[in-house]
């Protein structure tokens, strides 16, 4: 049995009843948190001194296209001269299994360095063969990150109906194969990245995707970008807690209420959505309707670094802006918080990045620092001890840098120790990333 004792930290639990605990030790045995109490026995344990630090659940990203890591930085402006969708189809057609592997390892290690212990990976490109999807699974075995790998369509939406239909059927079979292959991995699950539900033949394929995925027990995700799509899903009996839609910026309050009633977690990507001209107002509407909302990084080519803390900060700023504008337009300034309470508290924001993300991945024993929870834990060492007075405010508003994330534990295994990625002991990470980007950028330039 392995044993880790984290001592001396301020514990941000992400639990409603006791959000912050002080003067306690967190004890991990194998892959589970077994106790949170003062004076833990440390004999025979690996001791992590977290004095002056924040101990909290690992962050969970619920919508990341990790395979795109090889072409990161190419669309930093998002609405600039480079066409993201054009690059997506260019690169996905030319990626080798090695490109898939190296990109996902690179993305995984960068996000781990930033405190992300779990990820829903929407793999919507570079899935042309079983070798490609096998390479993705192997990449997560290398990083040790907890992952729900969602395999997407093997052809662009512009493909002929017949080609697209055949590709979809092959993809479902591949998902079933990979689910069998990863059944004993512990940290890896495999599901289906659904096509976008648009009217016509694509809607029929979407329905078939959902039906067949449920037959094999696969969790699902999709890009929710269309008007009325949740309404059609509700009418067709397709809504369920096993589907995680991303974005959903055009959803109505009626649709969001339906998501809440069916236990659907909505993933939002603050940076991507705002920079793409999508209104972040859906977030407040979703919270008002009782929807669990989780957050995500989304697209490595347009976001650097891959920090979920940065997404939390962006989300908080957006919520605060909407709340203040609502109060000001109603003539209710100076603020009276009895009349205009914050739509979303700092503690809610922490839960969006932890507990709600765990639900999106299909866990009910992950995302909190509590006995019986799976041991995905990070230690954040702020540069200023003043942060310990209000740890929730610090991690949400101050955007902790990767250099402040000193320890990352996933499933009871230390993946970052003393500020250094454990994987760096066996992988030349900068060289791997440079080779990967060189291959992918050459592919883009050749086309």
The predicted-structure confidence for 39-63, as pLDDT tens digits, reads as follows: 999 999 999 999 999 999 999 999 9
Domain of 421, CATH number, reads: 2.30.40.10
pLDDT over 80 (residue 446): no
Asked if residue 222 and residue 73 are part of one domain, the reply reads yes
Mean pLDDT of all residues in 307-315:
96
- The Cβ of residue 69 has, within 10 Å, a number of other Cβ atoms equal to 28
Domain range for 70: 59-347
- Residue at 31 is within a domain: yes
Q: Render pLDDT for 146-199 as a digit per residue (tens, 0 to 9).
A: 999 999 875 544 455 666 677 778 889 999 999 999 999 999 999 999 988 888
Mean pLDDT of all residues in 71-82:
74
Asked if residue 51 and residue 65 are part of one domain, the reply reads no
Q: What does the pLDDT read at residue 85?
A: 79
362 strand-pairing partners: none
Which distant-in-sequence residues (6+ apart) come within 8 Å of 325 by Cβ? none
Q: What does the pLDDT read at residue 214?
A: 97
Mean pLDDT of all residues in 284-291:
94
Q: Render pLDDT for 346-397 as a digit per residue (tens, 0 to 9).
A: 999 999 999 999 999 999 999 999 999 999 999 999 999 999 999 999 999 9
Asked if residue 244 and residue 117 are part of one domain, the reply reads yes
Token pair 């620092």: residue: 369
Asked if residue 317 and residue 237 are part of one domain, the reply reads yes
- Residue at 355 is within a domain: no
- Residue at 225 is within a domain: yes
- Residue at 437 is within a domain: no
pLDDT over 60 (residue 26): yes
Computed on alpha carbons and rounded to an integer, the radius of gyration of the chain in Å comes to 21
Asked if residue 214 and residue 89 are part of one domain, the reply reads yes
Asked if residue 117 and residue 255 are part of one domain, the reply reads yes
Q: What does the pLDDT read at residue 156?
A: 47
Mean pLDDT of all residues in 121-130:
88
What is the C-alpha separation between 221 and 238, in angstroms, rounded? 12
Percentage of the chain lying above the pLDDT 90 cut: 73
- Residue at 353 is within a domain: no
What is the C-alpha separation between 250 and 273, in angstroms, rounded? 11
243 strand-pairing partners: 220
Q: What does the pLDDT read at residue 279?
A: 79
Given a contact cutoff of 8 angstroms between Cβ atoms, the answer to whether 319 and 279 are in contact is: no
Please give the torsion angle defined by the CA atoms of residues 65, 101, 354 and 324, in that order, rounded to the nearest 10 degrees: -30
The total number of structural domains that make up the chain = 2
Asked if residue 64 and residue 50 are part of one domain, the reply reads no
Q: What does the pLDDT read at residue 157?
A: 44
- Quote the longest CA-to-CA distance of the chain: 65
First-to-last CA distance in the chain? 53
Asked if residue 85 and residue 36 are part of one domain, the reply reads no
Q: What does the pLDDT read at residue 193?
A: 95
pLDDT band, very low/low/confident/very high, at 121 (cuts 50, 70, 90)? very high
Report the range out of 79-83, 143-147, 153-157 with the highest average pLDDT.
143-147
Asked if residue 415 and residue 277 are part of one domain, the reply reads no
Asked if residue 250 and residue 161 are part of one domain, the reply reads yes
Asked if residue 86 and residue 37 are part of one domain, the reply reads no
Structure tokens at 320: 């605060």
- Residue at 310 is within a domain: yes
Which position has the higher pLDDT, 11 or 90? Answer: 11
- Residue at 14 is within a domain: yes
Asked if residue 49 and residue 117 are part of one domain, the reply reads no
Q: Which helix (H) or strand (E) covers residue 94, if one does?
A: helix 84-94
């Amino acid at each position: 049995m392995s044993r880790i004792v984290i001592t001396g930290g301020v514990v941000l639990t992400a639990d409603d009843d006791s959000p912050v605990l002080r003067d306690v030790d967190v004890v991990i045995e194998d892959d589970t948190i077994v106790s949170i109490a003062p004076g833990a026995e440390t004999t025979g344990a690996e001791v992590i001194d977290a004095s002056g630090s924040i101990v909290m659940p690992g962050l969970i990203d619920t919508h990341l296209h990790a395979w795109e890591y090889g072409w990161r930085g190419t669309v930093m402006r998002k609405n600039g001269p480079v066409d993201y969708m054009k690059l997506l189809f260019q690169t996905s057609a030319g990626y080798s299994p090695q490109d898939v592997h190296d990109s996902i390892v690179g993305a995984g290690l960068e996000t781990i360095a930033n405190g992300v212990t779990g990820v829903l990976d929407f793999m919507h490109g570079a899935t042309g063969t079983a070798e490609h999807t096998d390479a993705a699974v192997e990449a997560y075995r290398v990083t040790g990150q907890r992952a729900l790998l969602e395999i997407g369509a093997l052809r662009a939406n512009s493909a002929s109906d017949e080609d697209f239909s055949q590709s979809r059927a092959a993809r479902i079979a591949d998902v079933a194969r990979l689910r069998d292959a990863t059944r004993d991995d512990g940290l890896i699950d495999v599901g289906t990245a659904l096509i976008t539900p648009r009217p016509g033949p694509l809607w029929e394929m979407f329905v078939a995707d959902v039906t067949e995925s449920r037959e094999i027990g696969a969790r699902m995700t999709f890009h929710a970008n269309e008007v009325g799509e949740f309404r059609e899903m509700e009418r067709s009996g397709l809504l369920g807690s096993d589907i995680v839609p991303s974005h959903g910026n055009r959803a109505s309050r009626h649709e969001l209420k339906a998501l809440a009633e069916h236990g659907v977690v909505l993933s939002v990507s603050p940076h991507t959505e705002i920079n793409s001209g999508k209104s972040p107002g859906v977030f407040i509407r979703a919270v008002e309707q009782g929807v669990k909302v989780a957050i995500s990084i989304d697209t490595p080519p347009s976001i650097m670094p891959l920090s979920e803390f940065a997404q939390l900060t962006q989300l908080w700023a957006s919520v605060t802006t909407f709340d203040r504008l609502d109060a000001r337009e109603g003539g209710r300034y100076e603020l009276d918080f009895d009349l205009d309470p914050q739509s979303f508290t700092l503690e809610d924001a922490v839960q969006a990045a932890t507990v709600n993300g765990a639900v999106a991945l299909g866990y009910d024993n992950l995302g909190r620092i509590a006995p019986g929870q799976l041991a995905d834990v990070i230690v954040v060492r702020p540069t200023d001890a003043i942060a310990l007075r209000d740890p929730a405010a610090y991690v949400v508003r101050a955007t902790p840098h990767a250099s402040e994330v000193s320890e990352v534990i996933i499933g009871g295994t230390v993946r970052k120790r003393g500020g250094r990625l454990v994987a760096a002991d066996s992988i030349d990470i900068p060289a791997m990333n440079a080779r990967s980007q060189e291959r992918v950028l050459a592919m883009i330039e050749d086309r």
